[in-house]
Amino acid sequence: MDRKTLDSLDKEMLIRLILSQAEAIERLSREVEALRADNSKLHADNAKLRAKLNLPSKTPENSSTPPSQGNKVSGDESKTSEAKRRKPHAGAHRPLHPNPTAKRDVFASSCEHCGAFFLDTPQFVCEAYDHIEIPRIAPHVTRVSLLGGACLCCARKFKAPPPQDMPKGSPFGPNLRAFVIYLRFTQGIAFERLATLLSDLLGLDISEGALVNMLDAARASFTAATAAIRAKLLGGTILQSDETGLRVGKKNWWLWVFHHDDSAFFVSAPSRAKKVVEDFLGEFRPDFWVSDRYGGQMGWASVNNQVCLAHLIRDVQYAIDAGDDIFAPELRHLLGRACRIGRRRERLADATLKTYAARLNARLDKLMGLAPSHEAGVKLQRTIKRIRQYLFVFVTNRNIPATNNGSERALRPCAVFRKITNGFRTEWGAKLYADIRSVIETARRRSIGAFEAIRLTLAGMSLENST
């Protein structure tokens, strides 16, 4: 707008023009301030991203990243070629079976050198070996006919009752049911493939629906067995726990394990919260609890908790990889020394263990006074300050492990099963799997085979009595 145009405007028009321009200036000023704030935020985000670029990547060696997600290092071809050129070691042979099903003595009828025949010459065993074969696999089908007639006394019809070992209803016996459950939940065979396997190997046609009915009918037996396992765990003084993911339908669930010594109890639940632990424990509280540092597993012990040093050592390694060369390396040595002491506890006296525990805590006091050289070390030091009372509980208590690796080993078959099957369609299937895993894992710790444990459970027999 030029001066001539402004001169042609009256006072009222000029006032309105000035007010509109002032409003535009104020609006533009606010937009400029907002852009400056966004720009400052972008600079801060860029600084954080640049800092992250300098951090090491998380691997199974320095974090809780599963080993399956770690990068596999390519092997050295020269070493492989060198190994192929080496002389092989002395071969090993299969040992003879201690209790062979049958024995067969083969006598020589003639001399293999000159061909002379001999029948009365004494002979002795020159060589023995086993020939192993399995018989033809076929189902054993028993046709049960209940006989009856008409009573000569009252003229009413009567019929023999079904035998107790072969009741009416489902035609499938306990061994076949145990075989189906074993293949499904320990080998991860899907229902369609399982039906095909039974048809090919046994010549037995079983529909997928019948297989599901077998599992449904087994729920009560496994519920009773797991109740006994839970009772034994809640009668002890130490518990260990961990959890892993589980897929049920279209929802994320969690599979928990609570265990110690020769018993393990699994719980499938739609939550990872403390409510799962609370429902499992009821009013009971163990003296000691071993777990990782997840909040849902902490605070349940009446005396003290023991955190997993294996998880912690990996976190310490990450701080070392990130660049902390003051606090993290010294803490790594201290935790390694504590684990080595733990492996020698059975050979050490109680007084010696108390001395070691005091030295470990004194050394940790000195380490906490160090100033880490990297932010990762500062964060690690804050973590140690929060959990230091839970680090060396195992040193003076021989029944407490230094790590939670026992829980990891118990959950590993469950993680494999999850990858094979992609989870469960129904909630009762997930809960049945938890009960079956409780029986199988407890049986493994008591040196009982998985199939035998399933068979005993279906027969209503206790695993405690079979050991």
Residue 1 pLDDT > 70, yes or no? no
User: Which is more confidently placed, 81 or 386?
Assistant: 386
Beta bridge partners of 21: none
Of how many residues is the chain composed?
Answer: 467
Phi, then psi, of 8 in degrees rounded to 5: -80, -10
Residue with tokens 């489902």: 170
- 13-70 pLDDT, tens per residue? 878 878 888 888 888 888 888 888 888 888 777 777 766 667 777 777 777 777 767 7
3-state SS string over 197-246? HHHHHHCCCCCHHHHHHHHHHCHHHHHHHHHHHHHHHCCCCEEEEEEEEE
Q: How many CB atoms lie within 10 A of CB 449?
A: 12
Cα gap 309→339, rounded to integer Å: 8
Say which CATH class 218-305+405-466 falls into. Answer: alpha beta
Report the pLDDT averaged over residues 234-263. 95
Work out the pLDDT band at 286, boundaries 50, 70, 90.
Answer: very high
- 413-434 pLDDT, tens per residue? 999 999 999 889 999 999 999 9
Beta pairing class for 288-291 and 238-248? parallel
Q: Find the range with the poorest average confidence among 140-144, 302-306, 463-467.
A: 463-467
Residues 6+ apart with CB under 8 A from 236: 260, 261, 286
Q: Where are the domains of the chain?
A: 174-216, 218-305+405-466, 309-396
pTM over 0.85: no
CA-CA-CA-CA torsion for 357, 362, 368, 370, nearest 10 degrees?
-130
Joined together, the tokens standing for residue 466 give: 């079979």
